[in-house]
């Protein structure tokens, strides 16, 4: 079994730019464009779909992504322009945080309220 989250977005091109330009995702199908309505993204063994269909409803999905080095990804994303303002009261949005349940986590939320939770076992 494999789960592929579907994130709804209001601006497909902005979403593609964010996930491929700031985060590590690539287009699964190189010919895909923002005009397609649904775009598949991949990174290592993870897959994510973006869609503009029904973007007026059900915004705000969450997906956990298990990684080896949360701190390294955070530094990479910062160097690519990750903006950590706007969620100052959420430590996991400001940088990697050790959780009491033995994980180190970083949350990245896009402008449509979709959150990727990058998790690393401690």
Residue 65, domain CATH = 3.10.180.10
In angstroms, the CA 58 to CA 46 distance is 22
In angstroms, the CA 99 to CA 105 distance is 7
pLDDT digits (tens, 9 = 90+) for 46-101: 999 998 887 667 678 889 898 999 999 999 999 999 999 988 999 999 999 999 99
Q: Is position 1 within any domain? A: no
Residue 93 confidence (pLDDT): 96
Residue 29 confidence (pLDDT): 95
Print the domain residue range for 114.
6-121
Question: What average pLDDT does the chain have?
Answer: 92
Cα 98 to its chain centre, rounded Å, is 19
Q: Is position 101 within any domain? A: yes
Q: How does DSSP classify residue 35?
A: G
What size, in residues, is the chain? Answer: 122
Domain count, the chain: 1
Handedness of CA 41, 17, 61, 53 (dihedral sign): negative
pTM score over 0.85: no
Residue 86 confidence (pLDDT): 86
Handedness of CA 89, 69, 115, 63 (dihedral sign): negative
32-40 contacts at long range (C-beta below 8 A, 24 or more positions apart): 36/12, 37/12, 39/12, 39/15
């Amino acid at each position: 079994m494999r789960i592929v989250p579907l994130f709804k977005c209001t601006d497909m091109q902005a979403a593609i730019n964010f996930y491929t330009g700031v985060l590590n995702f690539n287009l699964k199908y190189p010919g895909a464009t923002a005009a397609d309505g649904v775009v598949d993204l991949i990174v290592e063994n993870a897959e994510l779909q973006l869609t503009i269909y029904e973007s007026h409803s059900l915004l705000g999905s969450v997906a956990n992504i298990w990684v080896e080095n949360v701190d390294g990804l955070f530094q990479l994303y910062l160097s690519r322009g990750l903006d950590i303002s706007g969620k100052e009261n959420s430590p996991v949005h400001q940088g990697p945080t050790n959780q009491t349940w033995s994980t180190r986590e970083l949350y990245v939320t896009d402008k449509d309220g979709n959150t990727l939770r990058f998790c690393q076992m401690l």
